[in-house]
Amino acid sequence: MRIIMMGPPGVGKGTEAVILVKHFNIPHISTGNIFRELFHEDTEIGKIAKSYIDRGELVPDDITNEIVHQRLAKDDVKDGFLFDGYPRNIAQAEALDKMLEEKNWKLDAVINFQATDELIIERISGRRVCKKCGAVYHIHNKPPKTEGVCDQCGGQLIQRDDDKQETVLRRLRIYYDQTEPVIGYYKDSGLIVNIDGSQTIEKTNADIMKVLGEMN
C-alpha cells in the first residue's frame, strides 16, 4: 500500500498515520520528523531546515526532495509506505511522480483530511511536547497529571515554536496558498479520499479503512 496523507496542519494526519502503518506494516515517512532528527544530529541541512520551520515556512524544494529521494532508496519501502507532510506543493508532487516512475511504483490513495481553521488552531496551539522523551500532550484534550511535567519520564513539557498561534496562522496561509492545490493535482487520478478530520480517532479510521477497502 502506497499512501499520501494530505490536509492542513493539526488535522489528525499523524495520529491516523500511526494506525495505518501498523495495519499495513509499512513505514511512516514524515518529512517533519526527518527534519527534526537532522536538527538533533546538528547537521548543516538540519539547521537550514529549522530556520524555515520555526518561521512556519516550507523548507526549500531542493532540500526536501533530496531527503525524500534518499528515503525511498531504503529497503523498507519496497512493499509500500505512507507519506505524511509530503508533497507540500505542485513542484514536490511532480518530483515525487518522477521518483515513483523511476521505480515503476504507483500510488494507491491520497487521503485528504478536512477541518475548520478554528479547530486546527485550538488543536495545535494547545499541544505540548516533552523536551526529554518527545511524548505529546494537549492542555485541553490530553493534559498531563501535573501541569508542565511529562507523565512518562518527568521531563519538561514545552510548546514548540511551530505550534505557537502566530506560527499556526502562518502555516495555514502557506497551506492554502501552496499545499491545497496539490489536492487538485491528484484529483483527476481517482486517488483522492476526502475524510472529515473533526471526528473521533475511531470514526476517522473506520471511514478510511472502508474507502481503502473499496479501492482495492
Contact 85, 113 (CB under 8 A): no
Q: Which of 36, 50, 160, 164 is catalytic?
A: 160
Active site residue 171: yes
Can you list the domains of the chain with their CATH numbers? 2-116+164-215 (3.40.50.300)
Convert 1-41 into a string of H (helix), E (strand) and C (coil).
Answer: CEEEEECCCCCCHHHHHHHHHHHHCCCEEEHHHHHHHHHHC
Above 80 in pLDDT, residue 60? yes
Percent of the chain with pLDDT over 70: 100
Active site residue 88: yes
The β-bridge relationship of strands 136-138 and 109-114 is unpaired
Active site residue 128: no
Q: Which of 2, 71, 88, 123 is catalytic?
A: 88
pLDDT digits (tens, 9 = 90+) for 163-210: 999 999 998 998 999 889 999 999 888 899 999 999 988 999 999 999
Percent of the chain with pLDDT over 90: 61
Q: Which of 71, 123, 127, 128 is catalytic?
A: 127
Q: Which of 2, 71, 128, 171 is catalytic?
A: 171
Above 70 in pLDDT, residue 110? yes
Distance, in Å, from the CA atom of 88 to the CA atom of 211, rounded to the nearest integer, reads 23
pLDDT tier for residue 127 given thresholds of 50, 70 and 90: very high
Distance, in Å, from the CA atom of 52 to the CA atom of 69, rounded to the nearest integer, reads 20
What is the pLDDT of the chain when averaged over all its residues?
Answer: 90
What is the CA 90 to chain-centroid distance, rounded? 17
Q: Which of 13, 71, 123, 128 is catalytic?
A: 13
Distance, in Å, from the CA atom of 205 to the CA atom of 5, rounded to the nearest integer, reads 13
